[in-house]
Structure 1
Amino acid sequence: MTRLAINQTAPEGYRAVAQLDAYIGKNLDHELLDLVKLRASQLNGCAFCVDLHATDLEKQGVPTRKIYAVSAWRETTFFTEAERAALALTEQITAISGGVDDATWQTAADNFSERELADLVLAIGTINLWNRIGVSTHLSPPALKG
């Protein structure tokens, strides 16, 4: 059971995060964005967000094999160079205690414009906030049908 409905208890704060998320959604490729959101959510153990972003990728027509492989992206050929750069950056920003190494940053900078890279950093930060909201409040995905 969910511990706290933040959207109801702190609606202004919740809307502010949602507005940042909406900004990012207008500025980054949707498939790339959901791959990043899925990977961060896997790392953070946010069941609600893993379900949401895997489902969003399915709705976009992303092959299920690619969705399943997000957690092992380094071991497959399913991802473009830009997706790989974004996933590597996602992992290092999500586990920020070690920082982002220069090679990972440079690879991302080689694949994205400065504006895209700025939006990508905002996207990774935002999904990490959503994950922390979901995990700390015990937000869970909708029940399976059937």
Structure 2
Amino acid sequence: MQSRMKSPAVIVPEAMQALQALGKALFASAEQTGVPNRTLFLAYVRASQINGDSVCVDLHSRNALAAGDTAERLMTVAAWRETPHFSDAERAALALSEAVTRLSDRTDPVPDEIYNEAATYYDEQALATLIAGIATANLWNRLNVATRQMVSDSAASAPRETSR
């Protein structure tokens, strides 16, 4: 398979700048509110798995490893409910990531049960950061999937940015 075109974010440089600024703002907010980068990356990996975005699965898995996560945990993100590797707060973030990613799968896309569980672990700003981050991951997924962006061999060895 090969990409249909360059990423729209590359073709429209102002969009790339805006998305990079958003990513930096979200990680700054995460730092202020105590949301671990590892948690954000787990949520991003899960959204990217659901959406079939290999570029973002690769990127955020590598970012998670660089942030101190383990390969064992990353290999089990898709089956997070059936593994003991995640804390209750991480499970709440993963459930929220799935719900926000699968909006059309149910009549109440983000039910109170999922939202309230996340709200027990994350205050309002932290929850806003997590939701905005998941939405941003979904945006990148849609850009990459629509244009069939591919993980390149050179990308596998290149340093990764951590701001998205």
Aligned counterpart for 2:68 among listed residues 55, 61, 67: 61
Runs of 4+ residues over 3 Å off in structure 1 = none
User: How many percent identity over aligned positions?
Assistant: 37
Q: Distance in 1 between matches of 2:142 and 2:82?
A: 28
Deviations 1:33-53 (A, max 9, x none): 110110000000001001111
TM-score by length of 2: 0.83
| 2:17 matched residue in structure 1 | 15
1:131 aligns with 141
CA distance in 1, matches of 2:47, 2:138: 7
Q: 1:88 is matched with which residue? A: 95
1:118 deviation in Å?
0.7
- 1:15 is displaced (CA, Å) by 1.4
* 1:121 match: 131
Matched, 1:102 2:112: yes
Alignment pair present for 1:4 and 2:6: yes
Pick which of 58-67 and 6-15 moved more. Answer: 6-15
TM-score, scaled to structure 1: 0.93
Unpaired segments ≥5 residues, structure 1: none
Match of 2:160 in 1: none
Per the alignment, in what secondary structure is the counterpart of residue 108 of structure 1?
helix
Q: Residue 76 of structure 2 aligns to a residue in which SS?
A: helix
Where 2:86 maps in the other structure, the secondary structure is coil
2:152 — aligned with what?
142
Task: Tell me which protein shows more helix as a share of its residues.
Answer: 1
* Structure 2: stretches of 5+ with no match in the other structure: 31-35, 158-164
* Partner of residue 162, structure 2: none
